[in-house]
Structure 1
């Protein structure tokens, strides 16, 4: 398959015919041009059919209410076989519960849901706060450093290691595997090579096979039951033999890694970037730290860490004056719906005391709503509480480096300087 975009990127999407624009181009997010592209779609053709793209033809759903409709009607729009715009590839044909329909989806999700049950979140809070404090206390004051590496990746990799009961010293492997999972041009318009992805995912499968065998042995000799994700899969009669289906096992492991990594990691960076772009909001926050709980969902809306989710129409569906045919690929652009001015006032602005801040699409809706949303919010809340205790300011120096992907809306680096 030729993965070159069918069109050239233009800095002004209003200057060309709308049908000549490629909304699947991962470079839109790498360059920051995405917002103007999707603004035009919302204004002129909110349910838009793109006949030609490197990923084949697809519909772009760009308004808040239309995205909600698609997300909530899983009987009309199937998640199988993938939730990214491209296919996962025949070399490693991953299966994962987010890309399944009921009843398989429900059975597998229910097996791991207890890891983020309220009592477990309460138990994790003190550990997260302890780790956040240690990370922040180790940062250099008055010197430029990379916030993504020193804070965002470090905190999320530590949290993932806890959720999986993964060897702590090897935790950065989890971040690397997350980056590799859907980073190729064929899957999300990224810049990871197929060879690199293949080697990484084979290493991931081998490592988690060993962890599975270890947990199984511990259960068999009567060691205390654990609430890490591997132990939970082993403890459910719906998933206790998943190891025998390696692509399903690997797919679900990667889903849980990506879910635990990308939302929090990129919101940790995006929130700081937003406060620097809107300095009056930063001053408002410093003057009133009680705004943190309301700011957290505003960060997640403004950042929108995952730009889209894909579905396949199961039957002909009328939407926005168009007819989506059975079998058509449908892409819900969360990143566009979260900037829909018809639903969210001043949607491009970052407003930490925004009313109805939880009115956003970043976690999805319906049966596929993000399982770890409360954990992500708790981590962000704790980080900002601890930052305000320690530092008078964190200045972003220059523009951050963004990830090339039409799926993960993220940062690869952001240089900052801290003041006491």
Structure 2
């Protein structure tokens, strides 16, 4: 750009307006500064208003570092400019003459001004935007769950809170800028999530397996929203580690399978003794299906002669005791008395509170019948032996 088109000249450009006129009326702040020492050579009214200075003339001649919140940052800005040949939308803190801090976005390009190469700076006050960002980040930081913000286009991490840092075992300063596919056990899961987000704008409680930098894996439940973030489309993800829940569910499923295939009757009750579960073996043993008994008191199975004993067992269980195996009798649906070996224990939550009871009943009817038959045979043998002895004594008289 030659000198005839600089703001210091009055000649018009091809568009019919001088560049100075364009800069003068621009709503964006414009500065021209000497590269060597940062002296301000030109400023428009928007810059004066931004700085809270009434007269533009009071800005010209001032060293630009005076308006940096951290004057040392000018070297960082110049280094970035010289490395790239220009600088676009660099965000930094600036200072007003009354020492009030505000945020600006600055773009730099080389500019010929009165025979020397200077810097033309276009400056926007982004204080409100930064305050809004900081409010959002403060909200994310205050959330008890891990939060991750990523660019939708390529999965680059834009923000992560401390909880996410802890979850992945990675310092915060090493998370931003990474690619989220690095954290998926199966990277195609991200493409599946993005496709769902583009269709419906959100994804709630999706289960996915993730991995840490050290290679260890864990199951997570992820809720994701597609939303603008700091001027670009991004995803905001709230992540919950559900590894323990998955393990517990697997253990419960295994236990449920054992209960289903067990040959022993297994039932559970509420703390009040109401039946909550009733397995297939119990159905076969007593003739009741689950729908007939769930919600009914377990005492309906106890015949009159053992009612008090059954109530005593429930009271002991309510105190958190375990009832060792004991022989007793229970009633079947058809009125049969079923001899059983009963063992029961209290179920407790993580605080130790009793939340119900479980009982296992083994049908010992055949064993009891065999024992009774054996006892009868033994009694008959004793009687026969006794009669034989009496006969011998009578024959000897």
TM range, smaller chain: under 0.3
Please identify which structure carries the higher strand content: 2
Larger Rg belongs to: 2
TM-score by length of 2: 0.20
Q: Whose relative contact order is higher, 1 or 2, with alpha carbons under 8 Å and at least 6 apart?
A: 1
Please identify which structure carries the higher helix content: 1
